[in-house]
A = this chain, B = another copy of it.
Amino acid sequence: MSEQHKRALLLVAHGSRRSASNDEIKRLAERLDSSERGDFEMVDAAFLELAEPSIADGIEDCIQRGATEVVVFPYFLSAGRHVSEDIPAQVKIKQQQYSSIKITIASYLGDADAMPGMIFEHLNTSR
């Protein structure tokens, strides 16, 4: 049995009735997973509502794949109720279930300091 620390990144999007939107999130998670990945051993996607897997199931999957730490990343642009209440409520259930696993919530995407720079870079390269 490995004692190694394995950190998982769980990208959490809102979820949509349009499967194409959900597929876009899954593809992004795959891109993240196949990139350098920083200090994450694995990357997966989950959805707050309207799509599968749920946040709880996404966290569970990471743990079953050997994660000893799960960082839940709200892929949201603004800090609404979903970010401040709904995601933490779902994460809390798994935190209580797995007291030996570190499960944290990163700050949401829209809060990124790098956002202004990335917007201009995107606009420069996509026109």
Question: Which A residues have a C-beta under 8 Å from some C-beta of B?
Answer: 9, 11, 13, 16, 18, 20-21, 24-25, 28, 31-32, 35-39, 71, 73, 75-81, 104, 106-107, 109-127
So how many copies of this chain end up in the complex? Answer: 2
Q: Cβ of A127: which chain B residues have Cβ within 8 Å of it?
A: 71, 104, 106
Instruction: Give 7 nearest A-B pairs by CB, closest first.
Output: A112-B122, A21-B78, A38-B120, A107-B126, A118-B118, A24-B78, A32-B116
Q: Give bound CA distance, A16 to B16, whole Å.
A: 17
Q: Cβ of A123: which chain B residues have Cβ within 8 Å of it?
A: 9, 38, 71, 73, 106
Q: Give bound CA distance, A31 to B127, whole Å.
A: 22
